[in-house]
Structures are given as structure tokens and as C-alpha cells.
């Protein structure tokens, strides 16, 4: 197990799951490798359980030293806490990003910082990012439209990310196009895409196609499939099936 000097983690708070090595200068028999339990406590020789959850490593060093001295075990003890990767400061990034996984964060990191850290959103990823975090014993979910946030310059939605957060990037919305077009298939649905824009993505009409024969198959709120006659400026919705009929003339 490798440990980093506690100075590298001074800005981070200790929490459940963190692996620590506690050194007592001049008393090697008290050196302890331990893990912070779910209640934020460690077990330390002579002292038993010590609550250090929510403290920085430096503050935890001071607390252990004070307890050893006030208990009459050592005079002016010098404590040094070394930390491996802080489990409580790790986040999970899943979904349509270039590099999914668990990442350790140090200091203050924003949502866009984390997305950059994982290589950005993948080509199949959408604009909606779901942030899930524990809050007051419950899990709170928030959906953030990253593209809208950037276009509007409203960076209030660029949330600070905390240890334990889960970030999930949704798949991009898609639509399907078939019939008398050059390239039938399914494609990424861009914001406010119109029918004529969808046709251009499909390569345009082939010689047998006609714009008068454009229909959209769309499921309503009850899941019933409907066939809708549309105009070129109508908007395409997620999972629409755009069908181009053959011209009779």
C-alpha cells in the first residue's frame, strides 16, 4: 500500500473508507494502519475509538496528540497522518463519457472540471447530465443540461462536486428516418431540429421521394403509436420515426 504525505490532502476532509497510516514520533509501537469506519471513527492504540470523520488530516493529528497527552500516555506527542487515496473523496462517473470509472478529487472541483477530467462526453452522449448525491440521509437527483448552461452562460448550474457524488451522462436523443431518402437509419437529434433538417441528415430525398409524403410515427403519452402528417418546419422529437413515401408521379 502506498501512502501520500498528509500535506497533499490538507484541503480534504477524512471520511468513511479512508485508509490511513498514523505515525507517532519516537513511539514506533504506536504506529497504526487503520481505516475510517462508517461512523467516522478509527481504532487507535491506548485510545480506543477516535472520531476523526469530517476533520482534515492536520486537525486529526492535533486531536490524537491532544488525547494521548491528556490521557497521560505521552508528553507533547508528534503525530503524522499519511493517507492513501481518500475513498470518501472519490466520485463515480458513468454513462456516455470517454473514460468511465471512479476518480479521486482533491480540493474544489466543478461539474465541467470533472467532465474534462474524464475526457469529455463521448460522441453518443447527450447534453443531459444527472448528478446524484447523498444529502441528509437521502439521495438527491438533479438533471443538468450542460449545453444549455454553456450557451446561456448560466454557470450557477455548474455544480461543485463532492466526494461520493455519482455523475451519469445520458445517451443523446435519436430519431429514425427511412423510406425514400439517400441514407436511411438512426441519427442524433440536435436541439430544435426541424423535419427539413432531419431530411438533410438522411442525405435528402432520393429520386423517388417527395416532401409531400413525409410522415412521422410518434408514440403519445399512453404509448399509442400515431402517424402524423408534418410540414418541413415542424420539430422532430426524441425517438420519432420519420418516413418518406414514394412519389406517385
pLDDT recorded at residue 47: 93
Closest CA to 52 of 126, 235, 44, 117: 44
The per-residue pLDDT for range 109-144, each reduced to its tens digit, is 899 999 999 999 999 999 999 999 988 778 899 999
**DSSP-assigned letters across all residues of the chain:** ---B-GGGGTTSPP-TT-EEEEEETT-GGG-EEEE--TTSEEEETTTEEEE-TTS-HHHHHHHHHHHHHHTTS-SS--EEEEESS-GGGEEEEEESBSS-EEEE--S-EEHHHHHHHTT-B-TTEEEEEEEEEEETTEEEEEEEEHHHHHHHT-GGGSPEE-TT-EEEEEEPPEEEEEESBSS-EEEE--TT-BHHHHHHHTT-B-TTEEEEEEEEEEE-TT--EEEEE--TTSBP-TT-EEEEEEP--
Residue 14 reports pLDDT greater than 90: no
User: What is the band of 175 on the pLDDT scale with cuts at 50, 70, 90?
Assistant: very high
Proportion of the chain above pLDDT 70, given as a percent: 92
Q: Contact at 8 Å (CB) between 81 and 18?
A: no
Q: Which three cell numbers stand for residue 202?
A: 438522411
Rounded alpha-carbon distances, angstroms, from residue 205 to 43, 177, 184, 198, 218: 73, 11, 10, 11, 21
Strand 241-246 and strand 174-179: the pairing is: parallel
| pLDDT computed for residue 87 by the predictor | 63
Lookup result for grid cell 449545453: 147
Residue of higher predicted confidence among 192 and 249: 192
Mean model confidence pLDDT for the chain: 88
User: What local confidence, expressed as pLDDT, does residue 88 receive?
Assistant: 65
pLDDT at 7: 41
Residues 6+ apart with CB under 8 A from 3: 21, 82, 83, 84
Comparing 58-62, 103-107, 131-135, 189-193, the range with the smallest average pLDDT is 103-107
Amino acid at each position: 500500500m502506498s501512502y501520500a504525505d498528509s500535506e497533499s490532502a490538507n484541503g480534504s476532509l477524512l471520511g468513511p473508507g479512508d485508509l490511513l497510516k498514523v505515525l507517532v514520533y519516537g513511539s514506533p509501537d504506536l504506529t497504526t494502519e487503520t481505516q475510517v469506519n462508517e461512523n467516522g471513527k478509527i481504532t487507535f492504540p491506548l485510545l480506543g475509538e477516535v472520531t476523526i470523520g469530517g476533520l482534515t488530516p492536520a486537525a486529526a493529528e492535533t486531536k490524537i496528540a491532544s488525547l494521548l497527552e491528556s490521557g497521560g500516555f505521552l508528553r507533547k506527542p508528534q503525530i503524522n497522518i499519511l493517507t492513501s487515496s481518500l475513498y470518501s473523496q472519490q466520485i463515480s462517473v458513468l454513462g456516455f463519457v470517454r473514460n468511465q470509472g471512479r476518480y479521486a478529487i482533491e480540493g474544489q472541483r466543478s461539474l465541467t472540471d470533472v467532465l474534462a477530467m474524464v475526457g469529455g462526453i463521448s460522441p453518443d452522449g447527450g447534453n443531459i447530465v444527472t448528478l446524484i448525491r447523498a444529502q441528509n440521509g437521502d439521495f438527491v437527483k438533479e438533471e443538468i443540461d450542460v449545453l444549455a448552461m454553456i450557451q446561456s452562460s448560466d454557470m450557477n448550474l455548474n455544480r461543485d462536486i463532492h466526494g461520493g457524488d455519482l455523475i451519469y451522462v445520458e445517451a443523446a436523443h435519436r430519431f429514425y428516418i427511412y423510406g425514400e431518402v439517400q441514407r436511411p437509419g438512426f441519427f442524433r437529434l440536435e436541439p430544435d431540429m426541424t423535419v427539413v433538417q432531419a431530411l438533410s441528415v438522411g442525405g435528402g430525398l432520393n429520386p423517388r421521394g417527395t416532401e409531400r409524403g413525409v410522415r412521422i410515427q410518434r408514440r403519445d403519452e399512453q404509448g399509442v403509436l400515431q402517424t402524423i402528417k408534418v410540414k418541413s418546419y415542424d420539430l422532430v422529437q426524441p425517438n420519432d420515426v420519420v418516413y418518406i413515401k414514394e412519389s406517385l408521379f
